[in-house]
Amino acid sequence: MAAIEAERVRLRGEYLGAGRAGTTARGLHHVAVLCADVERTIRFYQGVLGFPLTEIVGNRDYAGSSHFFFDIGNGNLLAFFDFPGLELGPYAEVLGGLHHLAISVEPERWVELKGRLDAAGVEYLEESGTSIYFRDPDGARVELISDPLGEMYGLSVL
């Protein structure tokens, strides 16, 4: 453990210098996740979590597939694809794959959404009084975090 922490210190010193350049990006346009059932996904993300569906279109890369988007605030979108007929199998966390989506919500909304998860029978793990971790209908791990954007558990990360 000491060697791991020493490596973190080295990396911070080398890459988090005071002269850090500004980013070349202007924000997250969308994250695209796979789903097995479009309507079930809409019912969960819009109905349970309150993320409005903003558009549903054909996927230009696969005929018969839908590409659809949810507003997750601050000009950011969460998108999904279905791939009917491909039998993609169940969600799996793998090296290089998605571990979880952390979505920031106001503290009052966090409490409200926790109640919505309870009402929908969605199991979750509450962590540090500011995070709720749960699985969506396809098994992807989602975190709702009530810390302000750019902060996590009292630490400034931006």
- Per-residue model confidence as pLDDT tens digits over 135-158: 999 999 999 999 988 888 888 888
pTM of the model: 0.86
Task: Answer whether residue 39 is part of any domain.
Answer: yes
Task: Answer whether residue 149 is part of any domain.
Answer: yes
Domains in the chain, number: 1
Task: Answer whether residue 137 is part of any domain.
Answer: yes
* Mean pLDDT score, 37-52: 97
Distance CA 8, CA 96 (A): 21
The residue segments making up the domain with residue 119 are: 29-84+99-156
Say if CB 33 and CB 77 are below 8 A apart: no
Q: Give the CATH number for residue 147.
A: 3.10.180.10
- What pLDDT is stored for residue 40 in this prediction? 96
Task: Answer whether residue 49 is part of any domain.
Answer: yes
User: For residue 18, what pLDDT band results from cuts at 50, 70 and 90?
Assistant: low
Say if CB 64 and CB 84 are below 8 A apart: yes
Task: Answer whether residue 19 is part of any domain.
Answer: no
